[in-house]
Each structure stands twice: as structure tokens, then as C-alpha cells.
Amino acid sequence: MADSDYYSHSESNGNPTLLDDGRFLDFGVSLAQAHKTGLGSSAALVTAFTAAVLAYYKDDGHISLSSEYERACLHNLAQAAHCAAQGKVGSGFDVAAAVYGSCVYRRFSPSILQGLGEIGSKSFSSRLQAVVEDTNSLQKWDTQIDKSLSVIPKGLRLFMCDVDCGSETVGLVKQVLSWKKEDPDEATRIWTTLQKENEVLAQELRRLSRNYGEGAGDYTNLGDIVLKIRSLIREMSSKAGVPIEPEVQTRLIDACRQLPGVVAGLVPGAGGFDAVALLVRDDEVVFSSLKEFLGSYRSPSDVADGGTSVGKVKLLGVKQEMEGLKEEDAKIYAQWIQ
């Protein structure tokens, strides 16, 4: 069971139908065959499962989400579990977002989890406990998570579009890291410039939030900053030989940007063919125009991305959200756990 927006709603997922509970969809295919939309479902699953296990072993059966310490312990354990499941120490952003909600995030030092050793090895449980509770004075967690800096200004709305071409995040990331090792100077140049532009983007979003009402509606600078970021991502994509922003996605985003009210767009997460994110004016006329355009959009015939083309494009129901992990009433899942 998962939120239906984690998976493509196209025919490739078996013509999904609504189940009796009115909340979940039956996609008619196995999990291995389902096309994902790239919203971080693996991190969300690991975080939710980890929280459930922790709550089960607590005396009162609950995690206190108002406790920064308990939320931090959950974050640390979920990061360890997710890295173990993926076979590598990733950025950790998707787990942090699942625990804390929207935030500006700076990753932890990989050595924190790399020092755990193999599961089942001598004293593994003691080392894991020290990592989760952050009691090792020689290796403290250095993650930086700031929710106050993560904002979408009033007057704008963030949309996700399902393009039904799903990518395997692990494979994409491994290829990029391989290129980074082979050409460290060039990779560092692009990485550093991209980081600076990301910081400029965050600053512009905060400026627009603070100055809402002053020159409201002028998002030219915001759109230009995102264009610079996309240019760097395409450069990295070309040099690494990895479809971070494939041409089919470039054409789709550029076409959307021609519509009135669409400020910017990019390929989110690790990139690939999963989805696109669009920042648009919060206006029903803009929404309707965008939905109508996407409903008839097809990849240009002159685009060749290894035979991959954008399928039916669909606006997902998800939106920007500040809240992370939350506890739900188990009764809504009653028919699934009888």
C-alpha cells in the first residue's frame, strides 16, 4: 500500500482502479513491474517502517514527534536502514524530507554510517545504537536541517507531473559517482557552481516570500536562476553520460515554460525519466491551461533518448508540504490488517 501518486497512472501500470476503501489504487501489476513517479517512495517506506518498529518497542507504543531527540533518533536509524537497503551511503535528503518535511538540507559525513561495519558482525548492535543515539563523541552527526529556510512564496504553487518513464535512482547515481572519480577536477567545478546556484535559488525564494506584495508577480529572476541550474545539470549529464535531464524532458519543460503563468521547471531528485516539477502562478486559469496542454502533449518525433519517449503526462495531486512524518489512526487501514 502506498499513496497512489508514488506510481504512474498510465496504461503501463495496468489501468489502475480504485479499491473499496476509496483511498488506494489497484494497479493490476506486481510491484516489480510498477512504474514509479520518483517521489522518494523507498525512503518514505523505510522511514514509515522504521518508525512503526520503534513505536512497537516503546512502552507506550508511540514516538513523540514533538521531541527533537526522538525525531533525530528516528532520522538516524532510518538513514542507516535506507543506506543498507540501497547498498550505498546516499545523500540522505529523501529520508530527511520524510522525517522532517520540506527543509534545506546539508548531508551528513558518510563515515558516520560507513563505520558501522557488516550487519551481524561483532558488536554491530552496540555501534548501531551509538550512531542512532549520537553518543559517539568521536563521530557526531553533522547533518544540517533547517525548515525555516524552505519556502514556496505566496502566489506560487509547485506541481509534479507524471511522465511514466521511471528510472532507477541507484543506477543513475552510481554512474555519476563513477564519472566524478574519473574526472574529479571537472566534476568539482560543476558541483561547486551548482551548489552556489542552488543557494542563490533558496535566497530568491526567501526574498520573494519576505517581499510578497511588493512587485508581486515578477518572477523573471526566479525563472532565470532555475535555467542556470538546469544548464549545469545538462552539462553534468553530458559529461557523465547519464540522462539526468534527458532531451525528452528538456523539450517537455521548455514547452511548459512557454505557457502563461509557468515560471520554471526541472527534473527533480536524481533526474532521469521519472517526472518533472513545475513552479507556476497560483491561479486556476493557469492550472486549467497547463492541465489541458499536458493532456495532449507528445514527445517530438526528432528526439532520440535511447528509444525512450514521454508517455501520457499527468498532473499529480501532491503539492509542497512542510510536515514530515505523522501518526495516523490505524482504523483507516482496518480492512488491510484483519
Report the percent of the chain where pLDDT is more than 90: 48
What local confidence, expressed as pLDDT, does residue 335 receive? 72
Residue 311 banded pLDDT, cuts 50, 70, 90: low
What local confidence, expressed as pLDDT, does residue 21 receive? 57
Residue 323 banded pLDDT, cuts 50, 70, 90: confident
Report the percent of the chain where pLDDT is more than 70: 87
What's the rounded Cα separation, in Å, for the pair 4 and 7? 6
Establish how many alpha carbons lie within 13 A of residue 237's alpha carbon, considering only the half-sphere containing its beta carbon: 19
DSSP 162: E
- Answer for the pair 147, 322: CB distance below 8 angstroms, yes or no: yes
Q: 266: which strand partners?
A: 277
- Answer for the pair 233, 276: CB distance below 8 angstroms, yes or no: no
Cα–Cα distances in angstroms (integers) from residue 198 to residues 50, 135, 191, 226, 328, in the given order: 31, 33, 10, 9, 34
Residue 40 banded pLDDT, cuts 50, 70, 90: confident
Give the cell for residue 329. Answer: 489512526
Arithmetic mean of pLDDT, 89-114 = 91
What local confidence, expressed as pLDDT, does residue 83 receive? 92
pLDDT, one tens digit per residue, over 109-133 is: 999 999 898 888 999 999 999 999 9
Q: Which of 240, 260, 235, 241 is nearest to 250 (CA)?
A: 235
What's the rounded Cα separation, in Å, for the pair 15 and 3? 16
pLDDT, one tens digit per residue, over 45-59 is: 999 999 999 999 988
What are phi and psi for residue 277, nearest 5 degrees? -110, 140
Q: Which of 249, 287, 241, 240 is nearest to 268 (CA)?
A: 249
What local confidence, expressed as pLDDT, does residue 236 receive? 92
What's this model's pTM, rounded to 2 decimal places? Answer: 0.81
Instruction: Give the position of cell 524552505.
Output: 150
pLDDT, one tens digit per residue, over 167-197 is: 555 577 788 889 999 999 999 999 999 999 9
